[in-house]
Amino acid sequence: MSTIDDTSGLKHLGSGKTSYAFHEPTADILEAFPNKYPNRDYQIRFEHPEFTSLCPKTGQPDFATIEITYIPDALCIETKSLKLYFTAFRNHGSFMETITNKILDDLVSVCQPRMMQVVALFNPRGGTSLTVTAEYFKDNSAPIETQF
């Protein structure tokens, strides 16, 4: 097996022409590349501590750390496109629960993992912090133990 990764389908990474969208998060921003080890179960974990969005009612900013853990199947999420996707929430007004589930749905639609978990740890606002966890299991398989 070749150890050279196929990057031919990636448009964001290395383009030198980064374009930011601050209000329209869509799955179209996300990119994936072929997993060189699709027959092996292994975890990939992303942690994005600088996530921002807006409250849909007040327009006040919400800040969070977004943690994503997944077991890839045929495809892996490309990191730069994930950063651009997160940036697209910056001026987007939506409830924290909706955001967490949208992130999960969009990522699953792009890479079809065996398992994925998105944990959104929102900073306290009004004296209350909020953590939302959303999970996906391909073919309704059993949850896989992960440590966060």
Angstrom distance (rounded) from CA 47 to CA 68: 6
- The residue ranking higher by pLDDT, 146 or 23, is 23
Task: Check the annotation: does 98 bind a ligand.
Answer: no
Q: SS3 of 114, please? A: coil
Q: Which of 90-94, 102-106, 114-118, 136-140 has the lowest mean pLDDT?
A: 136-140
pLDDT of residue 12: 67
Q: SS3 of 140, please? A: helix
How confident is the model over 1-25, as a mean pLDDT?
A: 72
pLDDT of residue 15: 64
Task: Check the annotation: does 4 bind a ligand.
Answer: no
Residues 42-77 as b or e (16 or more Cβ within 10 Å = b):
eebebebeebbbbeeeeeeebebebbbbbbbbebbb
Ranges assigned E (strand) in 72-127: 75-77, 115-125
Question: Confidence band (pLDDT; 50, 70, 90) for 4?
Answer: confident
User: Which residue reads 């601050």 in tokens?
Assistant: 22
Active-site residue numbers?
Answer: 55, 62
How confident is the model over 59-79, as a mean pLDDT?
A: 97
The CATH architecture one would assign to domain 38-140 is 2-Layer Sandwich (3.30)
Task: Check the annotation: does 103 bind a ligand.
Answer: no
pLDDT of residue 148: 42
Whether the predicted pLDDT of 5 surpasses 80? no
Structure tokens at 110: 């792009």
